[in-house]
Structure 1
Amino acid sequence: MIEVIVVGAGPVGLSAALALRARGLPVVLLEADREDRERPGSRALFVHRESLRLLDAMSPGLAAEITAYGRTWHTRRTLYRGREVYARTFPPPSGLPPFTSLRQLDTERFLRAACARAGVEFVWDAPVSDVRTSASGVSLTGADGREWEARYVVAADGARSAVRGALGIPMEGVRGEGFHVVVDVADVPGAELPLERVFHYEHPGVGGRSVMRVPFTGGFQVDLQCRDDDPEEAYGTEDAVRGWLPAVVGDGYADRILWVSTYRFLRKVAASFTDPHGRVLLAGEAAHLFPPFGARGMNSGIADADRAARAVADGTPRAVTAFADARRAAGLHNSEAAGIALDHLRPRRRAVRLRQRAAAALAPVLPSCGSWLEHAPYGPRGGAPAAAGGKY
C-alpha cells in the first residue's frame, strides 16, 4: 500500500507532494494529462508572500528561485473614466516581496523541479475514474483499469475533480452574472510598458467597461470586465481583442497576443473537505472556486496543501477533521470576501455606483476616497478564521 497519493499535478498538487516529502512521507503523484502537456495562458499569476514562505519551508531556496524569475512591481495606479484617482509607489522590501507575478506554467515548472529533487514519484496519463474509501485507506481506479491503494489521498485535481465527484461531495455556492475577458500579451522588446499595476474604472476607450493591466515575466495580462448583455464574440475572440486592445495599452500589441480566454465568476465551496472515513483530503479548486480578484485561488490552495500534509503526517482522525473544518472555514471566508469584491466590481445597486462616482470626484482633495477605489476591487484583507492558520 502506498503511503500517500496526490491526484493532480497543478500548483496545489505539486505543493502538496512537496509538503508531504518535507515531512518524510513517500508520495506518488497521479496526473490525468501526459507529461508533455501544454498549459496555455497565465492562469494564476500571483504567488503571495505567505505562499512563498510555505513553499520555502517545503523546499528551502524555492521562494528565492520563484521571486528571482517573477516580477514584483512597486507602483499601483487607479483611474476612473480616464482620470487618475490613486497612484502610489512603495519602497522595495528588504526580505521576501509581498508577491511575485509569473505565469502559472512557470510556477509549475519550479514546483515540478523541486518535487523531482525531493523524490516525488510521478505517474502521468493516469486519469482517475473511481474512488472507494474505508477506515483503513483508499482504493483508486484509473480510466485504463489500473488500481492504486493508499493510506491517504490528497485530491488536487481541479474544478472538475474526478475524486470529489466519485465521492459524491457537492460544491455549494453561486455562479455570477456576466463575463470577463483575459488576454496575455507579450512585451515589445525595448519598449516595455511601465512596471505597474493599473486598474481603470469605466475606461472610455472600451465603452465604459472596467479594465485591469497586470505585468508578469515576459509580458502582461489584461482583464476586461464585460456587461451582462455583451456577446462573447464581440469582445472575447482574438479578432475582437485586436480591435479593443490598442485603446487600453496603445498601438503595437495587436500582434503580440499570446492567449485569450473568457471566464464567469464562480463562488463555490465543497460541502466537506474530506470523506466520511477521513482518508481523502480535498485541496485547491477541488475544494473551492473563487473569482480571481484578490488572488485567493492558488494561494488558498497552497495553504490547503500545507495543512493537508500536516494532517496526513499526524495520521490521526482528529488531525484530518481539524484540517477539513479549518480549511472549509477559510474557503467560506474567501468566498464571502470575493463576493464583497464582486458587489463592488459589478454593482447591482445604484447606490454603489453613486458612491464610486462620488469617491472619484473627491479623490483629488480626499486621498482616502482614492485609496478606497484602489483597494475595494480586491475584497477585504485579513479576517480569515484563526483556525485557518494564515491569511488564506
Structure 2
Amino acid sequence: MADPAAVAEPVLVVGAGPVGMTAALALRARGLPVTVLESGAKDRVRPGSRALFVHRQSLRLLERARPGLGQRVAAYGTTWRTRRTLYRGRQVFAQTYPESPGKDALPAFASLRQVDTERFLYEACLEAGVDFRFDAEVTGVEATGTGVTVAAADGDGWTAGHVIAADGARSGVRKALGIPLEGTRSEGYHVVVDVADPAGGEMPVERVFHYEHPGTGGRTVLRVPFTGGFQIDLQCRADDPPGTYDTERAVRRWLPRLVGEDCAHQVLWVSRYHFLRKVAASFTDPTGRVLLAGEAAHLFPPFGARGMNSGIADAVAAADAISVACSDPSRAPVAIGEFASARRRAALFNSVAAGAALDHMRPRRWGRMTQRAAATLAPVVPRCGAWLEHAPYGPRNGPMADAARKY
C-alpha cells in the first residue's frame, strides 16, 4: 500500500454522491473536520434523474445537517398531490391530497433529478468547509485498532481515525475490506427515460401507474414528474431482446404512444437496469473504524424510493456514531456497534419490502389473476383499487428512514 500523506484526517468520507455529501455535512455539524475522496473529476456530472424522491424525513435530516438545506431542496423540487392507477387503460384508483406540509413546513417529499440534489449538497458542503479531493480512486484500505490508511490509484494516501464508505454499488472500500453483498438479482429488466417538459406546455403534475399498458403490449409503466420534466419507467419482460426498448431510437418509437409525439423529441436520458436486492454482511469492518453507508451497504429496487433515502439516514447515523467515538473513545465500540446493527436492520427491512413489491410487479399466474380480479372489483370495492395503488411499493411501516438513536 502507498505511504499515507503526512497529515492525518479525523474522518474521511469516500464518495461524493448524495450519501457521502450528507455524511460530510453531518460531521461538520458536529464540529469534525472531514475530507471527501471522490474518484470522479471535479466537473463530473452524473447523467439522468437516478434517485428522484427526497422524503420528508430525509429533508429533515438535511435540515439538521445544514440549516436551510432541506428547505432549499424542497423549494426547488416538485411535490404532486394527485396519484392515479390504471389497469389496461382503465382507471382503478385516483386520489388528490390537500396541501399539508406539516409543522415544519416541509412537504411529504420533493421530486428532483439527482444531479440537482447533488448540486444543493455540494454548495452546502463548500459553505460548511468540507475539503474535497477529486480524481481520488480508492484502491486500498487498511484498518487497525488505532486508525485507517487509505490508498488511491495515483499513489496518494491518507490516514484517518474513521472512514465512511459511501462509494456506491461497486464500492472499492467494501471490496478492499472483503465485506460481501448478499442477495439476489431479478430476471427481466426495466428501462428508465427522462423527458423534458415539452416546449409551451407541461405534462400534468401527477404520478401515474399503469398495469399492463395497452400502448406497450401489456407492459407496466410508471410516470413520475420532477422539476423540469418527468421520468418514465417501463417494465420489460425477461425475453425482450436487448435493443427492443432500451435504446434512444427504440424509445422514440414507443414513447409517443404513452405521452404524445411532442415529448418523444424531449428525451434527456435513457438507461436500463435490473432489480438488485443485496445487503452487506456487515456495516463495519472488524475494527469498527470503517462504516458503510448507502449503496456501499445495500442495493434495492427503486420502488418506494428506499435507496437514497435510507442512505441519507445511514450517513447521519454514521456521523452520530463517529462523533461519539471521537469525543469519548471509551464509548466508541457501543456507538459504532449500534450504528451497524440499527442500519443493517433497516436495510434488511427494506430488502424484504422491496421483495414484496417485486413479487407484485412480476407476478406469477395467481398473482396476475388476483390483480385482474381487483381491477374488475375496483369500481364497486374501493379497497381493491387502493390495493392496486399501494402494493407496487411494498410495506411502508418500518425503519427505512430512521436516523440513528442519539447517543
Name the TM tier (shorter chain).
over 0.9
- Quick check: 1:15–1:306 contact (8 Å CA) kept in 2? yes
Match of 2:109 among 93, 99, 124: 99
Structure 2 match to 1:383: 398
Letter in 1 for 2:337: T
Q: Tell me, yes or no, if structure 1 residue 11 matches structure 2 residue 11.
A: no
One-letter code aligned to 1:165 = K
- Cα deviations across residues 38-87 of structure 1 (Å, max 9, x unaligned)? 21100000000000000000111111101111100000000000100000
1:384 shift after superposition: 2.8
Amino acid at match of 1:34: A
Partner residue of 1:128?
138
- Aligned equivalent of 2:154: 144
Residue in 1 that maps onto 2:379: 364
| Secondary structure of 2:262 counterpart | coil
- Per the alignment, residue 277 of structure 1 pairs with 287
**SS state at 1:293 partner:** coil
- Counterpart of 1:337 in structure 2 is 353
Are the equivalent residues in 2 in contact too, given 1:330–1:388 (CA < 8 A)? no
Whichever residue aligns with residue 367 of structure 2, its letter is V
Deviation of 1:194 after TM superposition, in Å, equals 0.5
Alignment RMSD, CA only? 1.2
Greater shift after overlay, 379-388 or 15-24? 379-388
Structure 1: which 5+ runs fail to align?
Answer: none
Deviations 1:269-317 (A, max 9, x none): 0000000000000000000000000000000000000000000000011
The reply on whether 1:324 has 2:340 as its aligned counterpart is yes
Q: What is the CA-CA distance between 1:385 and the residue it aligns to?
A: 8.3
List 4+ stretches of structure 1 deviating above 6 A: 385-388
Amino acid at match of 2:164: V
Q: Secondary structure of 1:56's partner? A: helix
Q: Is the 8 A contact 2:57 2:401 kept in 1?
A: no
Query: Are the equivalent residues in 2 in contact too, given 1:246–1:254 (CA < 8 A)?
Result: yes
Matched, 1:222 2:232: yes
Identify the match of residue 33 of structure 2 among 20, 26, 29.
26
- Aligned partner of 1:239 in structure 2 is 249
Single out whichever of 259-268 and 378-387 deviates more from structure 2.
378-387
Quick one: distance in 2 between partners of 1:272 and 1:124?
Answer: 28
Report how many aligned residue pairs link the two structures. 389
Displacement of 1:343 in angstroms is 0.2
CA contact (8 A) 2:19 2:166 kept: yes
For 2:28 and 2:34, the matched residues in 1 are separated by: 7
Do 2:339 and 2:404's aligned partners in 1 also have CA atoms closer than 8 Å?
A: no
In structure 2, give the amino acid aligned to 1:304.
Answer: D
Matched ranges for 1:295-310 at <5 A: 295-310=305-320
Aligned residue number for residue 163 of structure 1 = 173
Residue 369 of structure 2 aligns with an amino acid whose one-letter code is L
Identity of aligned residues (%): 67
Match of 1:294 among 297, 304, 321: 304
Instruction: State the Cα deviation string for residues 349-387 of structure 1 (Å, max 9, x = none).
Output: x11111100110010011111000000000010133898
- Give the letter aligned to residue 184 of structure 2: V
Hey, what does 1:47 align to over in structure 2? Answer: 54
Q: 1:155·1:164 contact (CA, 8 Å) conserved in 2? A: yes
**Residue number in structure 2 paired with 1:248:** 258
Q: CA deviation at 1:255?
A: 1.2
The residue number in structure 2 matching 1:201 is 211
Once the two structures are TM-superposed, the CA of residue 251 in structure 1 deviates from its matched residue by 1.6
Separation in structure 2 between the aligned mates of residue 384 and residue 28 of structure 1, nearest angstrom: 29
Query: 1:178, 1:227 within 8 Å by CA — same for their partners in 2?
Result: yes
Mapped partners of 1:64, 1:49: distance in 2: 10
SS at match of 1:254: helix
